[in-house]
Structure 1
């Protein structure tokens, strides 16, 4: 059974997501549709890429992923079908592919050319559904488009490392449903630069000197619960499931106790800095 996923900024109020699902089921009886998210911030390409990049790998090879973000067809925003990591992605050429393919090279990219079949100004419904169903039936990408090599490149803000290798300057790339703040500083980068040294993470007025493995690591369960003091609302830094440093509030609720984003005053693209202890002179020489 073919799997088709949907990631859009349609939200939950309107009929758009339901119409797309209905169109798929009208063409295919034997298909499974999975909603990755319909709550992407409007036209927020980097947010969508973070969610899709960390979700698609859990799906079986051959899954088809429709991305309905900034998908209106224009001379500068063509439609693409991509085979990447044995998964199919249908999206606009608005830079999202360059973020998805930052670590894995696409096996095939075609520019979709079936737009003579457009029936409305709803490209996800008219174009992406038809292409997804074509692929689900076993169709090839060559039938629905022409091969291309050049795509729109959207430069993602990469962390900066100073020349002494004792500082990483990163940025906020995503804020999740709990209000937790995800940075673009990966665990791999943190460990490669830090090499076990003590450090301080700074973001606006908040600081951290430890990164936890899990959220509950910040709680000392050896102490009786009544004697631990305040648990909910405790700040922490953690390596999240996607492998990035995340700034969080333990058991946060943006509607009650607040969240990391609101309490720390952080939003997308804000700076997060990690300063490591300087090497001792003899250790520094050995490192060089």
Structure 2
């Protein structure tokens, strides 16, 4: 598979410091024609799960041959391996800490390479900035057409990431809030295909924390301003929202946030019906 010349960047570096710009400078020094796209640099520091989810959500919309450079790396300088993964039509460059596991799991087979060829790194490798010294130069060389197999050795055991699963029964689904977006919408891990399998769209009953919502709407404006609703978001997952407000504020105190249980059931199902572990 040939690379497209597009390199995306996903990090927990934020935009206040020079780290992202330095990585881009390294890439452009190797491949001046690279097309650099920021997915986000707002991952919570060290939050591998959040980085993995956002990368998984975004990667499928990029052309075949895109290189996804991702650095959420609390183990930098330690025993974790630097990786290049060829997964489906994407290349993934970053740490072996589970960050790429959802994308690896989604394809029939993936080629996983432990990056060991120092000729494709910067001459001096720091203990604290592998994004600059290893991952950015590897992405740049890969975009120039370097054979992935020249970059290291094949491995078969990438780190797996434990993610919350949806429990299913005939009448109900149980999942949880996995992300709160900047609008305060609660993004769950319950996919529209899971809900369709219940055969109760759009009449499903949704329980999130102490709140119950009747029915799944099509738009935010389908309820009055300040009204709470459930809908299927652009990524295909169930969202809990407040029209022109923030669903994340409904829990009081620290607010409703990640990990809050979410239940989708047929209208006649009771709060504990039909769920097994």
Asked if the contact 2:84/2:114 (under 8 Å) is kept, the reply is: yes
Q: 2: distance between equivalents of 1:145 and 1:126?
A: 16
* Post-superposition CA distance 1:180-236 (Å, at most 9, x none): 0000010000110244584321112211111122323x14xxxxxxxxxxx432211
The one of 208, 216, 230 equivalent to 1:237 is: 230
User: Aligned residue for 1:269?
Assistant: 259
The alignment status of 1:74 with 2:78, answered yes or no, reads yes
Structure 1 pair 166/59, CA: closer, same or farther in 2 (3 Å)? same
Q: Alignment length, in residue pairs?
A: 258
Task: Point out the structure with max Rg over C-alpha.
Answer: 1
Judge which range, 33-42 or 260-269, deviates more.
260-269
Q: Secondary structure at the match of 1:268?
A: coil
- Relative to the length of structure 1, the TM-score reads 0.84
- Relative to the length of structure 2, the TM-score reads 0.87
Q: 2: distance between equivalents of 1:266 and 1:99?
A: 25
- Trace 1:70-219 onto structure 2 (pairs within 5 A): 70=73, 72-75=76-79, 77-114=80-117, 117-120=123-126, 121-162=128-169, 165-196=170-201, 198-216=203-221, 218-219=222-223
Gaps of 5+ in 1: 220-230, 253-258, 280-288
User: Aligned residue for 1:228?
Assistant: none
Q: 1: distance between equivalents of 2:59 and 2:147?
A: 21
Asked if the contact 2:64/2:90 (under 8 Å) is kept, the reply is: yes
Gaps of 5+ in 2: 270-277
Task: Give how far 1:54 is off.
Answer: 1.7
